[in-house]
A and B are shown apart, each in its own frame.
Chain A
Amino acid sequence: MTISLLEERARNRFCLISGVFAALFYFGGLAVAGFLPPHAAFLEAEQISAFYVDNNLQIKAGMAMAMFGVSFLLPLIGAVSASMAKAEKSLHFFSNTQLACGVISVVGFIVPLFIWMTAAFRIDRDPELILLLNDLGWLTVLTPYGPFSVQIASVAICGLLDRRDVPLLPRWICFMGLWAALGGIAGALIPFFTQGVFAWHNLFGFYVPMVCINAWFLVLLVHLWKKPSYREPSEVMAV
């Protein structure tokens, strides 16, 4: 039994709203905690530990908020994979890849939140230990660019291979995805620097990857909202 186009559109939009909700809560939570923009990588143990002591309540509240929100990314990932599965005529190679990478990405968002929360949990700790946990959190969230790249690239490649009249995505959005997948690779340099443009708080460690990913995320959301292609063109015509 099939559902009507209107129902399908409603479910799709529900998933998209869920994704927006996740982004707002995640970035909102980090902002409340004072983690946006990131702390400089060159700060010393006393400075970082003072930050965790002075903003203890905000950090815990912000982390809880981000953690609550970030799981709502999963329905969005599911919706994108569902649209991709429609585009793949045979076995669902790319939609499965996207789903798997998406789940890893969500874990990659959640784990650092736990680490920072742990750093804020006992503030009478040795400042060096707080610095360690702070480092661990930032490296965990910013360095593993691989799953993101593969996730974005699998959406893009699936779109490029889709030869239907109304494809999954317009081709320029696919190419923009490939750009975003490649553009943030400088994130791999984060472990080597505490200062300079490649450090985690600076241009190529943070801002360039952020702009690449989020610009694409935004374009993708707007397109999926306005012109979802989860139906064959003939079905769309019939309604």
Chain B
Amino acid sequence: MNSITMVASNIRLDTQSTTVPEGGVWVFIWGDILIFSVFYLVFMLGRTEDLELFLQSSQSLNQLLGTINTLLLVTSSWLVALSVCRARTQGLSSRGVRIPLVGAMAAGIGFLVIKFYEYYEKSTQGISLVTNDFYSFYFAFTGLHVVHVGVGLGLLAFVYFSANRTKNDGTAVKSLESVGIYWHMVDLLWLWLFVLFYLVV
């Protein structure tokens, strides 16, 4: 058997060991992206009405913390992708899958800590949800995103702990894939919000 056919048969084995991906999760993903797209539009409309105010308020946000948070979420996404790749070949309970998952959760918690510090910082400056239109959008939609991050952390923890006990690896890998897709969406939504609130000048 030459090397090409060996590689080919390995690939076939690989695809066989992977279960059919969960299709339904995309309904959730596109639905959520739709809601955030509506917000995007509303924000841009509000921005054209009062450009001065939006620019001024945007500059008061902590760019450094925003950037660190972006890096944290992107890293976290990468770690989840890594553990999904490994789970397909090594099985869920291997260390190669579980260590990146712990890292991803740690990064997610770090994101929350920094986000709440930012909220705290704003509140000490006397800025809140009702200060002006920009901050209403800022607090409402980063807040909604924080809820998404919290849910995502719960899901990651669920996958992590069920990986120990699972008898049916196919189903468990499927759950991990779905959670991974969700976690990437949380990352993507943050990138949008980061660009909107912190960067657009």
0/1 string, B10-54, CB within 8 A of A gives 1:
000000000000111111100110010011001000100000000
Chain A residues near B136 (CB-CB < 8 A):
192-193, 196, 198
Interface size counted on chain B using CB atoms at 8 A: 24
Chain B residues near A176 (CB-CB < 8 A):
27-28, 31
Contact B32 A183 (CB under 8 A): yes
Contact B42 A197 (CB under 8 A): yes
Contact A172 B24 (CB under 8 A): yes
Contact A179 B144 (CB under 8 A): no
Chain B residues near A183 (CB-CB < 8 A):
31-32, 35
B118 on the A face (CB < 8 A)? no
A107 on the B face (CB < 8 A)? no
A182 on the B face (CB < 8 A)? yes
Chain A residues near B22 (CB-CB < 8 A):
171
User: What CA separation (Å) do A230 and B31 show in the bound complex?
Assistant: 29
Contact A170 B144 (CB under 8 A): no
User: What CA separation (Å) do A185 and B147 show in the bound complex?
Assistant: 9
CB distance from B13 to the nearest CB of A (A): 26
Chain A residues near B129 (CB-CB < 8 A):
189, 192
Which residue of chain B is the closest to A163 with respect to CB atoms?
A: B171
Chain A residues near B127 (CB-CB < 8 A):
none
Contact B133 A196 (CB under 8 A): yes
Contact B25 A175 (CB under 8 A): yes
User: What CA separation (Å) do A176 and B30 show in the bound complex?
Assistant: 10
Contact B130 A178 (CB under 8 A): no
Contact A179 B31 (CB under 8 A): yes
A203 on the B face (CB < 8 A)? yes
0/1 string, A162-180, CB within 8 A of B gives 1:
0100000011111110110
Which residue of the partner chain, among A170, A179, A208, contacts B28 with CB atoms under 8 Å? A179
A94 on the B face (CB < 8 A)? no
Contact A172 B140 (CB under 8 A): no
Contact B25 A179 (CB under 8 A): no
Which residue of the partner chain, among B25, B32, B46, contacts A182 with CB atoms under 8 Å? B32
B148 on the A face (CB < 8 A)? yes
User: What CA separation (Å) do A172 and B25 show in the bound complex?
Assistant: 7
Which residue of the partner chain, among A175, A192, A204, contacts B24 with CB atoms under 8 Å? A175
Which residue of the partner chain, among A163, A171, A198, A204, contacts B23 with CB atoms under 8 Å? A171
Contact B42 A203 (CB under 8 A): yes
Residue in A163, A175, A179, A182 whose Cβ sees the most chain B Cβ within 10 Å:
A175
Contact B31 A172 (CB under 8 A): no
Which residue of the partner chain, among A179, A193, A212, contacts B130 with CB atoms under 8 Å? A193
CB distance from A5 to the nearest CB of B (A): 27
B151 on the A face (CB < 8 A)? yes
List residues 127-173 of chain A with CB under 8 A from any CB of chain B: 163, 170-173
Which residue of the partner chain, among B32, B140, B171, contacts A198 with CB atoms under 8 Å? B140
Chain B residues near A198 (CB-CB < 8 A):
136, 140
User: What CA separation (Å) do A163 and B172 show in the bound complex?
Assistant: 13
CB distance from B148 to the nearest CB of A (A): 7
Contact A203 B151 (CB under 8 A): no
Contact B35 A208 (CB under 8 A): yes
Which residue of the partner chain, among B24, B26, B39, B140, contacts A170 with CB atoms under 8 Å? B24
User: What CA separation (Å) do A179 and B38 show in the bound complex?
Assistant: 15
| Chain A interface residues toward B at CB < 8 A | 163, 170-176, 178-179, 182-183, 185-186, 189, 192-193, 196-198, 203-204, 208, 212
28 A-B pairs (CB sep. < 8 Å): A163-B171, A171-B23, A171-B24, A171-B25, A172-B24, A173-B24, A174-B24, A175-B25, A175-B26, A175-B27, A175-B28, A176-B27, A176-B31, A179-B31, A179-B32, A182-B32, A182-B148, A182-B151, A183-B31, A183-B35, A185-B144, A186-B140, A192-B129, A197-B42, A197-B46, A198-B140, A203-B42, A204-B140
Q: Which 6 A-B pairs have the closest CB atoms?
A: A171-B24, A172-B24, A179-B31, A175-B28, A175-B24, A179-B28
